[in-house]
Amino acid sequence: MQERSSESTPLHQHSGARLAVAALFASMCAGASAQTPPPPVPVKVTVVPAGEVPPVGGACMPPAGGNKVCVDKDPVRTPGVPVDTPVAIVWTLTTQGWTFVKNQGIDIKNKKSWQLKEDSSTKYTATNKKEKGDPYKYDVNVTDGKTPLKFDPTIMN
């Protein structure tokens, strides 16, 4: 009967090395698929009374009822991160006396996977996975309690 040595053979050493490399590769892949989401893209919404100069940059709707809605980014561009990474946009209405229309403040058309959340009467958040530059039209709906205003800018995701 032949005694077994406690020393490993070259075959055992290679198997151990392969196992270690496979474990390292699996842990790296798991880390790569769990992307850290970038910070939300902030979008400032303002209502500009007739005769006042709108903010620089972004876009404004044509005047309606003497007022116009402006956004400081149009189109809103989500960050340049890998596809399927979570991205978010936060709209904040900054004009005193104006609020987003309840449950319709931000309305993404053909929203597919976008999830909208009304954070407050002056703040909305939308989240989705990063896509390959897909455009989305959306409506900004605001009111001063008497006059509703609507504007339709674009998201580039």
State the CATH architecture for 41-156.
Sandwich (2.60)
Predicted TM-score (pTM) of the model is: 0.77
* Domain assignments of the chain as residue spans, ordered by start: 41-156
Contacts of 78 (CB under 8 A, 6+ apart): 41, 87, 89, 128, 130, 155, 156, 157
Contacts of 127 (CB under 8 A, 6+ apart): 86, 87, 88, 89, 114, 115, 117
pLDDT band at 60 (very low <50, low <70, confident <90, very high): very high
Please give the residue that has the higher pLDDT: either 63 or 107.
107
pLDDT band at 136 (very low <50, low <70, confident <90, very high): very high
Please give the residue that has the higher pLDDT: either 97 or 28.
97
Asked whether residue 14 carries a pLDDT value surpassing 80, the answer given is: no
pLDDT at 13: 53
Asked whether residue 27 carries a pLDDT value surpassing 50, the answer given is: no
pLDDT (tens digit per residue) in 66-116: 899 999 999 999 999 999 999 999 999 999 999 999 999 999 999 889 999
